[in-house]
């Protein structure tokens, strides 16, 4: 009996790695893309309009539609194998970049500092990457952590492409054990614990990145 | 001395409001000139037009005799040669003092890090910001220190002209004093400067030729002493009388 329970637990834990791989890859790739898009927004107003349109469209599309589009259309069109993990990472990267660029743009820029950068003779792109982006990334850290948590939960939708993630496996186990809700709750608990760890890690990173002499918003720096 | 920077009849409007109306001025090499005028008279807009942060709607700006407002001129190269010190220091808040000064030479002039930092150290020493402050961040500095770092940042571009936009306006008396000392010292060293200020102590110490800007027009240009004695009507008159009074009050305090 105990052996079977452990086997089931092992099965669910094995599935958790899909959630971790999909969520962290698309978070990091999305962050890189969002950083470039953010800098482009700061540097040029036509780029800003294009990025706004992209973000509006992508944020309005249900994740399942994006998953299907990448799996059935985009990957084959690019000559890539129809791999559910790859399609999930690509779809969630595109989706997350749209959210993350809005997060970066929402934290507010010091126009005076940008003007000072331009007054030195920097190009818009130089001012965006040397002055705006490093500051916005710092201020946005707490909101970006939320985005990672969302991705972790959204990654369970990759089941639609046949990815046997933690929640999908928990549901199989639940059915096999006579619809015991405990297994689904176990998967939820595991995903929650990963979220919690990410939040803790992010707070540590945020504290390290805080600019000396300024008060980091929303974070108490324990000494 | 030859004229380095010349503005010829420049005008600038924002949303139908004419902020600058056919303003002309000139600055010779090594010379310091003052720019005075009531708040909202267009001083900041004029300075930003001179280094092409704003593009004048009409008229031209000549740098070393070359019309830099002509189409096709690289405005970034012009900004590098005509540096602007803002009223708010506008230091980059995520960079240390030394990085604030070195980033321009590194990113814009393409100097290697060591050379950019050596240049930054030299300019920081020049404005009296010692090594004990170089690793600090802007939020850890006093207002006067911040503004001196901003001046060093402008100097690190090795500009031909330095424009100051009320550099002492937001500072307490001690901060204003340290910044004024730097401005006067740089003027003595022959840094070509145009200083927009209401600070009577700074005006008295620079005692240079002045332009009076009122409602976007040059109402007077000539020695500061003459400006104070000249009869003006309306807004210009009220401003000049108030300025003369403040200068007298400062002078009396000095004698007392």
SS3 track for chain A: CHHHHHHHHHHHHHHHHHHHHHHHHHHHHHHHHHHHHHHHHHHCHHHHHHHHHHHHHHHHCCHHHHHHHHHHHHHHHCCCCCCHHHHHHHHHHHHHHHHHHHHHHHCCCCHHHHHHHHHCCCCHHHHHHHHHHHHHHHHHHHHHHHHHHHHHHHHHHHHHHCCCCHHHHHHHHHHHCCCCHHHHHHHHHHHHHHHHHHHHHHHHHHHHHCCCCCCCCCCCCCC
Task: Give the model's confidence band at A222: pLDDT under 50 very low, under 70 low, under 90 confident, else very high.
Answer: very low
Q: What is the pLDDT of residues B127-140, one digit of tens each?
A: 999 999 999 999 99
Given a cut of 50, whether residue A81 has pLDDT beyond it is yes
Residue B169 contacts A, CB cutoff 8 Å: no
Q: What is the pLDDT of residues A119-153, one digit of tens each?
A: 999 999 999 999 999 999 998 988 999 999 999 99
Q: Which residues of A touch B107 (CB under 8 A)?
A: 120, 122, 126, 130
Given a cut of 80, whether residue A216 has pLDDT beyond it is no
Q: Which of A116, A134, A213 comes nearest B90 by C-beta?
A: A116
Mean pLDDT of chain A: 91
Q: What is the pLDDT of residues B146-186, one digit of tens each?
A: 999 999 999 999 999 999 999 999 899 999 999 999 999 99
Res B91: pLDDT: 96
The whole-model pTM stands at 0.89
Residue B153 contacts A, CB cutoff 8 Å: yes
Segments of chain B assigned to CATH 3.40.50.300: 77-206
Res A208: pLDDT: 84
CA distance B5 to chain A (A): 17
Q: Which residue of B has its CA nearest to A133?
A: B94
CA distance B139 to chain A (A): 5
Token pair belonging to B2: 């030859």
Q: Which of A112, A121, A213 comes nearest B86 by C-beta?
A: A112
3-class secondary structure, B142: coil
Task: Give the model's confidence band at A221: pLDDT under 50 very low, under 70 low, under 90 confident, else very high.
Answer: very low
Q: Which residue of B has its CA nearest to A131?
A: B92
Residue B110 contacts A, CB cutoff 8 Å: no
Cβ B220 vs Cβ B230: under 8 Å: yes
Q: What is the pLDDT of residues A48-57, one digit of tens each?
A: 999 999 999 9
* CATH fold of B77-206: Rossmann fold (3.40.50)
Beta-strand ranges (E) seen in chain B are: 3-14, 17-28, 32-36, 58-63, 66-67, 82-85, 161-165, 193-196, 209-214, 217-223
Residue pairs between chains A and B whose CB atoms are closer than 8 Å:
75
Res B256: pLDDT: 60
């Amino acid at each position: 009996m105990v052996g079977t329970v452990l086997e089931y637990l092992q099965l669910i834990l094995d599935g958790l790695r899909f959630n971790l791989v999909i969520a962290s890859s698309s978070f990091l790739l999305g962050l890189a893309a969002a950083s470039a898009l953010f800098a482009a927004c700061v540097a040029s107003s036509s780029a800003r309009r294009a990025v706004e349109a992209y973000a509006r469209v992508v944020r309005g599309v249900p994740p399942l539609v994006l998953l299907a589009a990448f799996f059935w259309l985009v990957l084959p069109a690019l000559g890539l194998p129809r791999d559910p993990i790859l399609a999930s990472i690509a779809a969630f990267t595109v989706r997350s970049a749209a959210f993350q660029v809005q997060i970066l743009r929402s934290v507010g820029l010091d126009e005076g500092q940008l003007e000072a950068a331009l007054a030195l003779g920097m190009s818009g792109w130089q001012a965006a990457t040397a002055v705006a982006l490093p500051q916005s990334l710092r201020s946005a850290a707490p909101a970006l952590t939320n985005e990672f948590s969302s991705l972790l939960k959204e990654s369970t939708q990759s089941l639609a492409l046949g990815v046997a993630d933690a929640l999908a496996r928990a549901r199989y186990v639940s059915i096999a054990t006579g619809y015991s809700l405990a297994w689904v709750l176990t998967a939820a608990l595991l995903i929650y614990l990963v979220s919690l760890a990410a939040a803790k890690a992010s707070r540590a990173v945020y504290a390290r990145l805080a600019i000396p002499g300024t008060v980091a918003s929303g974070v108490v720096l324990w000494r | 001395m030859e004229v380095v920077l010349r503005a010829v009849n420049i005008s600038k409007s924002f949303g139908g409001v004419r902020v600058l109306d056919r303003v002309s001025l000139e600055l010779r090499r090594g010379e310091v000139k003052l720019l005075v005028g009531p708040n909202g008279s267009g001083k900041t807009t004029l300075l930003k037009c001179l280094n092409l942060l704003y593009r004048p709607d009409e008229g031209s700006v000549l740098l070393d005799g070359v019309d830099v407002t002509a189409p096709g001129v690289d405005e970034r190269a012009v900004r590098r040669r005509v540096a602007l010190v803002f009223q708010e220091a506008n230091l980059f808040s995520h960079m240390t003092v030394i990085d604030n000064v070195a980033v321009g030479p590194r990113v814009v002039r393409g100097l290697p890090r060591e050379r950019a930092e050596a240049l930054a150290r030299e300019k920081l020493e020049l404005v009296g910001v010692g090594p004990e402050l170089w690793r600090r961040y802007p939020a850890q500095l006093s207002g006067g220190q911040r503004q001196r770092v901003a001046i060093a940042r402008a100097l690190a571009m090795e500009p031909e002209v330095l424009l100051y936009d009320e550099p002492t306006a937001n500072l307490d008396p001690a901060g204003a004093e340290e910044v004024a000392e730097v401005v006067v010292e740089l003027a003595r060293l022959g840094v070509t400067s145009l200083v927009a200020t209401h600070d009577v102590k700074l005006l008295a110490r620079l005692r240079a030729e002045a332009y009076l800007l009122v409602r976007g027009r040059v109402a007077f240009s000539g020695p500061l002493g003459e400006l104070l004695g000249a009869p003006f009507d309306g807004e210009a008159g009220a401003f000049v009388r108030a300025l003369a009074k403040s200068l007298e009050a400062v002078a009396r305090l000095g004698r007392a």
